[in-house]
Amino acid sequence: MPLKSLFLDFNSYFASVEQQINPELRNNPVGVLPVIADTTCCIAASYDAKAYGVKTETMVLEAKRLCPGMLFVEANHKTYIQYHQRLVDKVNECLPVNKVHSIDEMVCNLIGNESKRENAISIALLIKKKIREEVG
């Protein structure tokens, strides 16, 4: 059965962008906060933080309990928007973006040979490679 679309979801998006722009955060559990305060919650958690049970909406005090070495950064939405545009541009080089659902989700329609499962997987892997090599 032919596929109709390719859905891209950049998980842990804000935390991943923070780790990209600040190499000291890489391979460390990171929580992105609206403001640096113990009374708020994580609006994003890195994959490293998720391994400890920290997720979006986890309160900072709980995150510190679950993961004592966790690092926290204040959200920088302007940077996330800039990275979003770079990601859309890279995806568009491989397959036209049909719809942007959010800052970290987009859909591309598949037509013709693109709709064959093996071709869609190849396109998805190409997009992933391009983003890893050219955006980070």
Which among 18, 24, 74, 105 is annotated as catalytic? 105
Check if 105 is active-site. Answer: yes
Report the alpha-carbon distance of residue 50 to residue 15 in Å, rounded. 11
Question: Could you tell me the two tokens for 71?
Answer: 């690092």
Contact 56, 43 (CB under 8 A): yes
Quick one: CA torsion of 128, 135, 84, 15, rounded to 10 degrees? 90
Catalytic residues: 105
